[in-house]
Structure 1
Amino acid sequence: MFQDLRDSNSSKFQVSEFILMGFPGIHSWQHWLSLPLGLLYLLALSANILILIIISQEATLHQPMYHFLGILAVVDMGLATTIMPKILAILLFNANTISLPECFAQMYVIHCFVGMESGIFLCMAIDRYIAICQPLRYPSIITESFVIKATVFMALRNSLSTIPVPMLAAQRNYCSQNQIEHCLCSNLGVTSLSCDDRTINSIYQRLLAWTLMGSDLGLIVLSYALILHSVLKRNSAESASKALSTCTSHLILIFFFYTVIVVISITHSRAMTVPLIAVLLNVLHNVIPPALNPVVYALKNKDQGLYKILKLDIKSN
């Protein structure tokens, strides 16, 4: 798709490739970051693969909540793998160049996976709301069919709504500069190099953020507000504590996920004089949640089967 777009607009592309410079201001020693980032990437892959293996093999974990966790693990691995191999190649081997079609393809996949992760967080929030606020109706509402339909809807929503992002970026005229002060092809980082008006790109980026991420976050906040209201009405302190404990890990990950997105948006819109912060946050946002999601869920939900199985595995080793 991007190659055809490039050919049809060849007169607009004066540069044949982009150069990803890495982390702004620390180019001389940024290769040292390859070790912690590489370890985070390996942790993300190994932890999520372990989660998938355990969920698939343990019958007690064949529940909608764990199905969503498995889907989240697949999305996390896809997001991390989209960016980390290229980042490590830049840091270790100075493989800075990336073709325009590859750059636009990476831009699309990143947006798609980030939106998908937000959507799965929403599905998990709905799952917890039904389980806590309407427990008697839970088996009839949150079924395997519900999980499949919700996942397909989120996949279609994000894959289709993010197509205009790289297409609009490919329509810009890149006539002179081709050095991107970043480790990946972010929409705003790439289009900032264009020589023509990029207002439409900024408008669609904000529209996408508000309609997709904003609506997801709003519904998640509403779900947990209703959960909190329901829990506070209970007379049993033990029952309330148990209900809230199942949501703690989810809230931790949601808080980190959306807070970093807000910070990145602010740093880009305000044109900060220290772009390193925005670039570093952007990279960490795409690798830390995949590495921490399985760990947080396993350790915080100690009463759930996943923690017990991981604990047994550790002891047996």
Structure 2
Amino acid sequence: MKNKKTLMILALAVTLSGVMSACNFGGDDPAETVEVTPTPEPTQAPDPTPTVAPDAQSTTYTSTDRSISIELPDATWANRSDEGDLISFESPDQGRILIIHGEGAEDMASAVIPSTEDLAVSLEQASDLVNGTDFEIRRYSATNVNGVNVYSYVTRMLNTEKSGGYSFVINKYFANDNEYYSITASGINGSQRAYNRLAEAVDSFQILGESTLSVATSTQSADGTSSEDGQTAASNNGVTPGRPSDDIISDNTKTRTIYRNSDGQPIVIKIDNDGNWVDDDGNTYRFANQWDVYDQNDVDYYYHGEAADVYYMPLPDSE
């Protein structure tokens, strides 16, 4: 009986073992679950923002007291001072702009306003510069706009070592008996493009505060002509009589431009192979002095009754 019981236990153990084997190890392997990872949506790159070169960005600067504003040539110009009556800007490769304001008897007594060309020369000579050797004054102008005296001129530097490396200085003054503003724009590069950009900055100068001089800034350009004058000249076949379209900074005698009062059209003359000044039609010209020009028929060229405006103009690169 005891042996039978033992056999039954063994048989049961074998049976259970078989069942467990069938359940856990026998038969087909259970199906594997495959997880599908979704494909990520591609991140769309943002549209590139074009980078504008610093020399292509103009910047309008308004003083901290909101008394004046000026359009700087580009973003390379930085404000160096904005303290009361003195505002200055600098660009490492272009130059410097200085704005000075004076008001009241004390300021006017200490200021030197270039109301004549001789005074303009004296101002430059005060910096230990010699007229004709170290500098020369060009395009001096004295006008009156709504009771405000406006003086402007360009100082061409002949000795850049003594001028601190500056090739030219554009000077402009607004003044009456009690107040003045002076703007001086000094250029390092003597190219026509450099001159034009600084001249445009000077032209953009505006007096915003309650100044007795504000009536003049909205109508004046760097050469002293008003916007009304400019419109009149612009209707004259697109030519502004008396205003050079040439390089007044460099001294290139190969080409000159003459303005005459008959129609305001410029006559461009060049030196031919024989050393004569001629125009494109073969007419010859001679210079009696720095201003008066006569053609082959002894016709004198004038502008508004003044001696002819004659300026140096460089030849195009192609010539």
Normalising by the smaller structure, the TM-score range is under 0.3
- Structure with more of its chain in strand, by fraction: 2
Larger radius of gyration: 2
TM-score in terms of structure 2 length: 0.22
TM-score, normalising length: structure 1: 0.22
Higher relative contact order (CA 8 A, sep 6+): 1
Structure having the larger proportion of residues in helix: 1
